[in-house]
Structure 1
Amino acid sequence: MAEQQHPTLNPWRTGLEVVGLTVLALVISIVGGVAFIVPVLVLGFDVAATAVLVGLTAAGQVGLLVVGYAFVRRRRMEVPFATPSRAQWRTIAVGVVVALLAAIGFSTLLTRLNLVPESVIGETAAVDPTFLLGLAVLSVLLVAPAEELLFRGAIQGRLRQSVGPVPAIAIASLLFGSIHVANYTGKVAPILATSLLLAVIGAIFGTLYERTGNLAVPIVVHAAYNVVLLVTAFVAS
């Protein structure tokens, strides 16, 4: 992506800025979830119902979307977004395959090392597998756009201005992995290992963004990746 570094941006200050942005996004996401669940409780709906849980997830993702968009606007950052070209669709196809193969390989390794954490999503899906289909739809409509705007468009974009593309991809990917820690329970080591797996997947998304200069590319790859995993889990349930 042809965007020059800003020599006046202090790398350490920029690093603290994006870490703070990640924390802020997490806080706003939680606030959004609370704002959604309080009326549900007041109206007497079952908070464990699949529709409610999908709605709760959506509310949290809206928080990420709002924070990412607000940061990009405030910093007047250019985040290129366009309908993928024919060549970019080929890149998308390759990206989905690479991400899935990386996930399968890394997951196999974690299983052999006995580093697989308990999954909040898995526990919910065990009660009602249709929750997975709800998340698949939500991944296309909201999860992928929100997370890619925040972590690739805003965070990776800001870091690129200060430290260049490779460190930007690495740091943004680690932050991407860290924000998913809340999806898992159990011992610390398996949770951290899974967070690292997600960071690797995030690095694939980040590399696609840098190579194509089009945020739509990692959004589509992210959405397709999630859908394949979620639908596969549903079929296997």
Structure 2
Amino acid sequence: MTRRRLAEYGVICVALSWLPWLLMGVSGMRPDEGAGQLVFALAASGPSLAALVMWLWHRERRPGVRWSPGWPVAAVVLGAAAPLVTTALVGNLSELPGHAESVIAGAGGLIGAAVYTFLAGPVAEEFGWRGYVQPRLRQYFGPLATTAVLGAAWGLWHVPLYFLTGTGQQEDGLFTQEALVFFLELFPLTFLMLFVTERLRGGVPAAILMHAAWNLSTELIPPLGNAVWLELVVVTAVAGAAGWYWRRTLPA
């Protein structure tokens, strides 16, 4: 039953996201102009909307979460660590304030940047990936296998954005080092979100907070260029440290 529900979720998620993006691409509608902004936002919310559809359709009860007080700080630190550490390692910290000020101004100020950071990605996706899919995968797989399956699904969902004019992904290009690093980074990020949601008992709020911290920090730091590979190494090391802690603190 769980496998069938996951398959149903996948079909609904793809329909809610990929079909509108396909129509936008065919019609020439841009995600940063007019009605295209609304259509794009709804399509980008496909993962969370698909979870809502599944919960309402099957009248499923969401599993309860035993809250732990330490997850908010951990979610922010784990989300922001790799971009900030990489920036420090390549010596770009002095450029960070000016670049961050420019990005925040372009987003309409602090409030605009904060709202966009939480809605575009964290809220739009995490009720689906970490709220619906992850706990069901965990019924069959351990942490590493769950990371592999969910990380691959998360990356595949993003692929159409590389063909949609007006997105940051399309500007980067699919067959570039930036795209390759992006897809590879999703795996350690998936593990870290599993860590904060399950091991630290933060649930979906922890995933939203960590996703927002990652998005915000990657936007505010100066462009890394070839140093994106260093960022991949750093976030993988952070995930490895989290895995070591998880294993070390397992009950005997």
TM-score under structure 1 normalisation?
Answer: 0.61
Alpha-carbon RMSD: 4.4
**Deviates most, 153-162 or 184-193:** 184-193
Q: Which segments of 5 or more consecutive residues in structure 2 lack a partner in the other structure?
A: 91-101, 163-168, 224-252
* Partner-residue secondary structure (3-state), 1:161: coil
Query: Which residue number in structure 2 is paired with residue 178 of structure 1?
Result: 156
User: How many residue pairs align between the two structures?
Assistant: 198
Q: Is structure 2 residue 196 aligned with structure 1 residue 208? A: yes
Q: Which segments of 5 or more consecutive residues in structure 1 lack a partner in the other structure?
A: 1-7, 42-46, 112-124
**Deviates most, 204-213 or 135-144:** 135-144
Q: Is structure 2 residue 40 aligned with structure 1 residue 57? A: yes
Query: Which residue number in structure 1 is paired with residue 123 of structure 2?
Result: 145
In the aligned structure 2, how far is the partner of 1:199 from the partner of 1:108?
Answer: 23
Match of 2:74 among 84, 90, 94: 94
- Contact 1:99–1:225 (CA under 8 A) maintained in structure 2: yes
Identity, % of aligned positions: 22
1:18 shift after superposition? 4.0
* Partner deviation per Cα, 1:167-212 (whole Å, 9 max, x = no partner): 2233212322332233431426652332111222122112211120
Query: Which residue number in structure 2 is paired with residue 78 of structure 1?
Result: 62
- Contact 1:156–1:172 (CA under 8 A) maintained in structure 2: yes
* Partner-residue secondary structure (3-state), 1:204: helix
In the aligned structure 2, how far is the partner of 1:179 from the partner of 1:107?
Answer: 28
In the aligned structure 2, how far is the partner of 1:24 from the partner of 1:189?
Answer: 31
Residue identity matched to 1:230: E
Query: Which residue number in structure 2 is paired with residue 69 of structure 1?
Result: 52
Query: Which residue number in structure 2 is paired with residue 29 of structure 1?
Result: 17
**Deviates most, 217-226 or 128-137:** 128-137
- Contact 1:173–1:199 (CA under 8 A) maintained in structure 2: yes
1:103 shift after superposition? 4.4
In the aligned structure 2, how far is the partner of 1:64 from the partner of 1:27?
Answer: 10
TM-score under structure 2 normalisation?
Answer: 0.58
1:164 shift after superposition? 4.0
